[in-house]
Structure 1
Amino acid sequence: MGARAAGAGLRAWVELLRLPALFTVPGDALAGAAAAGARPNPRTLLAIGSSLCLYEAGMALNDWADQAEDAVDRPHRPLPSGRIRPAAALAAAGGLTVAGLALASRAGRRPLAVAGALAAMVWSYDLVLKRTPAGPLAMAATRGLDLLLGGVTSGGDTRKVVPSALTLAAHTLAVTTVSRHETQGGSPWAPLTALATTTALTWSLTRDNDTSKVHTSEIHTSEIHTSDVHPSGGRTSVDPKDAAPNTAPLVGALAALYAATSARPLLHAALNPSPPLTQRAVGGGIGAMIPLQAALAARSGAPVTALLTAALAPAARRFSRKVSVT
């Protein structure tokens, strides 16, 4: 009985924290580092750790704030079903927030400032903004800040991180808008708008893709000589860009995977906006963050980082079949 009770308790916490969704988090920091032109390093691991803690703090706080609503719409959730005490969920949210800020502080003042803004946005969303018109924008800001945290923590040019952060924020805005109807359904406009957003983001990922970008962590320009010996004995100029990897095919493949993961369930939800199909569309949108992060890294000229990020997708799909991410 003791082992069975312990297993049931562990299962309840896995459901509360929606652990399969954690696979969508490391890509934020990795894409941020790639956009900043920085090699993933121990400081990037601090950013990932901070992001994971703050993400899970938001999950625990979300259910604590939604107790009354879940008691009606989702009585099987850990809090309304009595499997986890509300006080324990709130304590977990607070402890995880402190842990996330502590990890960010190890990387310096700037990462701590971004992590502090991210934590404030998480708590503001769950406690105040979620049911207001500003709710989806707040959630979008959390993902944008999370990607920015990766760029700031890893080093490099932080200004270059902004376009990637805005792209991820736009996707999050669309998914969050759809999620507002996942328990009751009834609105085809939210999935249609999200579908249009997916199309626009897919197009923006592939257009103007500079195939000559060199990621400083994966191809060091210092190792590429700006001149070489011509067979005739003279020296010819060699543009370092000529030695850069052609990431266009990888960006295109990852963008297509992103579109396929997000668009199909959104189309089904638009045609039949029932709660099950709307929830499936939200789950698809969450899962699509991984190929989107990978595409952003590839577009920044970091193919290895992109492939490492994309490798998280199979695990996310496997575990999401066992525990819902919505």
Structure 2
Amino acid sequence: MTDPHHPGKKAAWAELLRLSALFSVPGDAFAGAAAAGRAPNRGTVLAACASLCLYEAGMTLNDWADRDVDAVERPHRPLPSGRIAPGAAFGAAAGLTAAGLGLAAVAGRPALATATALAGAVWAYDLRLKNTKAGPAAMAAARALDLLMGAAATAGRSARTGGAGPDAVPRAFPAAALLGAHTYAVTLVSRRETEGGSSTLPLAALGVLGGIARAAGRNPRAAAAAPGGRAAPEPVPPVLPAGRRLTAPAFFAAGYAATAARPYAHAALNPSPYLYQRAVGGGIRAMIPLQAALAARSGRTGTAAALLALLPVARRLARKVSPT
């Protein structure tokens, strides 16, 4: 008879893989495509699938590397509780990494090169850098590379038909920097989520997130028509009547700010472990409206709206499976 206090294997893997956080991943590739000035294509989808594999590889490897620490601080986690064997977790991390690189390879050599750097950042963070001063920077680099992989995969496939200029991926650098800055701030707070701390850290994160929201909400430069006769990105329409200044990028950036600000403000007012964990979970979910804002900033309001639709689903699933 199954012990009711120990969920089945499927539930244990769902917890290990942080399934509720998965919704924050595909938007990296689509925001990267938008930032590169391209419409989503098959390469974008391949990049999103590769991102999912590499993200889950990182989640699994993280718990494998932390299994001794979790035995003390989080004995309910799948590995220290014995619901999943350490060897199975490590094997899953290796297999998911291989799958992610394989999918990126199908999208082209630029995407594979970026995915290889991304996989290296993920494994270096989990195995060596997590508890060092370089840890947050490694995690930020991984998210930035994830967005750039979407740009490289999208532009790479277009390049074979003469539709992408050599500047397609560099155009995505500013968006990647904003996503990386967000990740850096969230990672800094996550390092104290099991013990809490002072109000200084969540307050500092709030300041960073506010600056990101302001940058993401700015009107982009007018997009030039793409070479090869392809259509330019969609124009950025206002979401308020004429005479008002709230454009689509500002609208989505406001959604990002609202999603991120509340849990970090709560953690600043009461820096307990519980509210630190809530702040980290909120920061992970806030990546979805940030990706939407970055897509809208590049003129892809349709992509932005589709990405934002993932947010309520992520919130509902987070009630069942913690994203941290």
**TM-score normalised to structure 1 length:** 0.89
Equivalent-residue separation in structure 2 for 1:214 and 1:318 (angstroms)? 40
CA distance in 1 between partners of 2:294 and 2:18 (Å)? 25
CA distance in 2, matches of 1:210, 1:52: 29
- Asked if 2 retains the 8 angstrom alpha-carbon contact of 1:37 and 1:300, the reply is yes
1:215 and 1:79 map into 2 onto residues whose CA distance is 52
CA RMSD of aligned residues (A): 2.3
Q: 2:184 aligns with which of 154, 157, 173?
A: 173
1:210 is aligned to: 220
Aligned length: 305
- Give per-residue Cα distances to partners, 1:119-143, cap 9 Å, x unaligned: 0000000000000000000000000
The residue aligned with 1:122 is 122
Q: 1:198 corresponds to which letter in structure 2?
A: L
The amino acid across from 1:252 in the alignment is A
Match of 2:311 in 1: 313
SS in structure 2 opposite 1:38? coil
Match of 2:290 among 289, 292, 311: 292
Which residue of 1 is the match for residue 87 of structure 2? 87
Residue 244 of structure 1 pairs with residue 255 of structure 2: no
CA distance in 2, matches of 1:125, 1:320: 24
What is residue 47 of structure 2 aligned with on the other side? 47
Aligned to 1:257: 255
Per-residue deviation, 1:252: 1.5
Pair 1:133–1:245, CA change in 2 (3 A): closer
Shift of 1:7: 6.6
SS of the residue 2:247 aligns to: helix
1:206 CA displacement: 2.4
1:25 corresponds to: 25
Q: Which residue of 1 aligns with 2:301?
A: 303
Partner of 2:161: none
What letter matches 2:22 in structure 1? L
Partner residue, 1:163 = 174
CA distance in 2, matches of 1:15, 1:181: 20
Q: Secondary structure at the match of 1:148?
A: helix
Residue identity opposite 1:132 in structure 2: T
Q: Give the C-alpha shift of residue 249 in structure 1.
A: 2.2
Looking at CA atoms only, which structure, 1 or 2, has the larger radius of gyration? 1
Letter in 1 for 2:77: R
What is the distance in 1 between the residues matched to 2:300 and 2:294?
Answer: 9
Q: 1:279 aligns with which of 270, 277, 280?
A: 277
Residue pair 2:217, 2:252 contacting (<8 A) in 1 also: no
* Letter of the 1:202 counterpart: A
Question: 1:34-74: per-residue Cα shift (whole Å, max 9, x none)?
Answer: 00011111111110110000000000000000011111110
Q: Which runs of 5+ in 2 are unaligned?
A: 156-163, 239-245
- Residues 180-230 of structure 1 show CA distances to partners (whole Å, capped at 9, x for unaligned) of 0000001322211110001111111223x137447869x9658xxxxxxxx
* CA–CA separation in structure 1 for the residues paired with 2:133 and 2:230: 46
TM-score normalised per structure 2: 0.89
User: Structure 1: 5+ residue runs without aligned partners?
Assistant: 223-240
One-letter amino acid of the counterpart of residue 161, structure 1: A
Contact 2:23 2:314 in 1 (8 A): yes
